[in-house]
Amino acid sequence: MEDRLQLGNGSYLLLGDGSFLLLGSSPAPVTPTPSPTPPTNPSIIGEAFCPITTWVADAAPSTTWAEDNCPTPLVTPVIPTTPPQIPVRRGISLSGLENPGQLPGTLGTSFFESTQNTYNYFAAKGFTTVRLAFLWERLQPSLNGALDSSYKAILDDQIAKAKSAGLKVILDCHNYGRRIVSPLSGGITDNFTGAVSQLNYPYADYSQNGFIVLRDYGESLLGTAINPVSPATGYHVSFNMKFNSRDTSFGGEGLYVRPMWIDDNNCYEFAADVSSNSWTLNKIISGVKTQLATGSQTWGTVSTYAVDIDVNQATNGKINVSLNGTPLFTTNSIASDGALAHGQVAFFAAGVHVQIDTLVLNINGDTTTGNRGQVRIGDPQVSIDEFAQFWGLVAAAYANDTTVFAYDLMNEPHDMPVPSTPTNYNVNATVTLMYQAAIDAIRQQDITHGIFAEFDHWAGGQNFTSSYGTNPIPWLNDPYNLITYSFHYYFDNDHSGSYQQSFAESNNTAIGPDLTPMLAWAANNLVNLHCGEYGVPNTAEWQVCLTTFFTLMNQYKVWTNHWAAGDSYTSITTLQPTGSSPNYVDRLQMAIVGATANLGG
């Protein structure tokens, strides 16, 4: 893929590593002089090389212009006068490092990396970028503290794999506008009416109305790994649940509740299986699952079920489970295992939307001292300045890394202290304030990398006009003009990407009306736009949505990163190939996502 530019006294070829090669035989200038009419836009927004506006014609013929030859960039923002001429780039998002799991967690059990083979596979398919998700709490365990060297080394290893494959990296802070702040041991009560839930809920819907809806094959965590407190004889979790929707086409769908959870290989597990209308109690130790009890139970979508799981509380050394007040097996007939003596409570919704309310973790009679949860940026516990300080550290660490070409400031911020609206988006909306603070902090350390700013309200492209109006003035200021606004778009009815409903033609016909207002705004305001997430299931009927989507993306020259792939990523939209290298088998979606026209080739 080649991009040629005419600058001053020669024609220049943009190389894959971001450098420029002077073509032809124009004579070298005697003294460095600025190009007479420099373009006003960077050639590729966000790549780790100088904006064209700062280049001077001081290179001899056939000399490569490398990143480290950059003069000082402009300090005054450039006001575009023509649409950006940006080659369309297609990329993949890689999931694994951002898995919430246990904090800080262990590589290979709580969070996961991708192999060199995965990077090589997507590079060979023509992808040029990787949106690499990471978790703020792991990279910076303490607010205002240093970056964690161990987790950063893992992140660096993934960046090195991308470099080896010839891919550029977007660093994606995958925290939804939140982070966990110094959780304490002890019991927890959550009626789901507070500003944030006590659950770590990256895959859930929460609106402070007395319940939370878990979804999307994601694990939500409660409590801390050091529970229960001494004496370790009282661990008791209770809650109400209601299945709002389900998809039983694969088997095993339901809610999996895992007390004493250290990781998925070490915990108890209560499974409410809606596909087989059954329940099962298991213990899992070092990855070996042992069934302790099982029975039948018809799980409806109307009834509410009161679940009570008692480990060592009513009777030390025994585990008991009841449903709607009735024991599921003979009381005290099942012994607990000393190997499972502490941990969090994990909730895993598989193929269902399940509503949870009145959640209590009772630790030896204590139900409150462990109360915590994900705290929003802008709340007293996590300030905007602390978010900016974090990004300043990241920028200092990667300022000279030419494989990293952009920072994605925050994945899918939502339900923030001051939500963005058409009247406040450029005044006091939390997302705007935290982004601008982060931009300012980054530019104190790094003046060449791009910055991606995801829209408020889950970054949903369909929410653009309700969040910002029909023609907002671009509201973020970067003195080096390297801002790219970013949106996400899924094609199911609620745009969640969980695809709980079957395909309908309206899922396809809604794409244009949903996205065109935002796309037209970007084109009319000369704004660089990026779709950081999209995806469809691996079934034939949904593929038409990709064709419609890419028609728009190509028309408006929008960068895209598919969600997602990764050696551990198995969700319904995964693009991770099956089989093993070198005999990988493409996923169904690759026929469209990987088509040459859709890669900008």
pLDDT in tens, 185-224: 788 899 988 766 777 666 677 777 899 999 867 778 887 7
Report d(CA 415, CA 581) in Å as an integer: 42
Please tell me whether residues 436 and 289 are part of one structural domain. Answer: no
216 with 172, same domain: the answer is no
The pLDDT value recorded for residue 103 is 73
Q: How many domains does the chain have?
A: 3
Does residue 229 lie in a domain region?
A: yes
Q: What pLDDT does residue 250 have?
A: 61
Do residue 224 and residue 309 come from a single domain? Answer: yes
Mean pLDDT of 402-420: 97
pLDDT at 252: 74
So what's the pLDDT on residue 99?
86
Task: Say which amino acid occupies 14.
Answer: L
Full 3-state SS string of 137-205:
HHHCCCCCCCCCHHHHHHHHHHHHHHHHHCCEEEEEECCCCEEECCCCCCCEEECCCCCCCCCECCCEE
Shared-domain flag, residues 489 and 389: yes
CATH number at residue 504: 3.20.20.80
pLDDT digits (tens, 9 = 90+) for 300-358: 888 999 999 999 998 989 999 999 999 999 999 999 998 998 888 999 998 889 999 99
Q: Which domain holds residue 17?
A: 3-69
CATH of the domain at 294: 2.60.120.560
Does residue 408 sit in the same domain as residue 341? no
- What pairing do the DSSP bridges indicate for beta strands 374-376 and 178-180? antiparallel
Residues 245 and 171 in one domain: no
pLDDT at residue 487 in the model? 98
Average pLDDT value for the chain: 83
Among residues 267, 244, 240, 268, the alpha carbon closest in space to that of 254 is found at: 244
Q: How does residue 7 score in pLDDT terms, banded at 50, 70 and 90?
A: very low
170 and 452 Cβ atoms separated by less than 8 Å: yes
Report the share of the chain in percent with pLDDT over 90. Answer: 66
Q: Is 75 inside a domain boundary? A: no
Q: Is residue 77 part of a domain?
A: no
- Per the model's pLDDT, the better-predicted residue between 368 and 460 turns out to be 460
Residues 392 and 367 in one domain: no
Q: What one-letter code names the amino acid at 553?
A: M
Q: What is d(CA 383, CA 378) in angstroms, rounded to the nearest whole number?
A: 5
If asked whether residues 234 and 350 sit together in one domain, one would say yes
DSSP state of 111: B
pLDDT, tens digit (0-9, with 9 covering 90-100), for 423-432: 999 999 999 9
Residue after which a domain boundary falls, among 372, 390, 409: 372
Q: Is the pLDDT of residue 59 over 80?
A: no
User: Does the pTM of the predicted model rise above 0.85?
Assistant: no
For residues 168 and 126, state if they share a domain.
yes
Q: Note whether 192 and 265 are same-domain residues.
A: yes
Structure tokens at 427: 């005044």
Residues 551 and 447 in one domain: yes
Alpha helices in 46-102 (DSSP H): none
Assigned domain for 134 exists: yes
Length of the chain (residues): 601
> Has residue 226 been placed in a domain?
yes
308, 290 contact by CB (below 8 A): no
One-letter amino acid of 32:
P
* Residue 81 in domain: no
**Residue 70 pLDDT greater than 50, yes or no:** no
Determine, yes or no, domain membership for 538: yes
pLDDT band for 73, please (50, 70, 90 cuts).
very low
Closest CA to 386 of 208, 137, 25: 137
Last residue of a domain, one of 338, 372, 406: 372
Q: Which tens digits make up the pLDDT trace of 264-300?
A: 899 999 999 999 999 999 999 999 999 999 999 999 8
In sequence order, what are the residues at sequence separation of 6 or more whose Cβ sits closer than 8 angstroms to the Cβ of residue 180? 103, 137, 200, 372, 373, 374, 375
Picking from 343, 372, 401, the residue at the C-terminal end of a domain is 372
pLDDT at 391: 98
Report whether 461 contacts 489 (CB < 8 A).
Answer: yes
The DSSP annotation for 506-557 comes to HHHHTHHHHHHHHHHHHHHTT--EEEEE----SSGGGHHHHHHHHHHHHHHT
Tell me what the mean pLDDT of segment 520-549 comes to: 97
Is 388 found in the same domain as 405? yes
**Which DSSP category does 54 fall into?**
G
- For the stretch 446-491, pLDDT in tens is 999 999 999 999 999 999 999 999 999 999 999 999 999 999 999 9
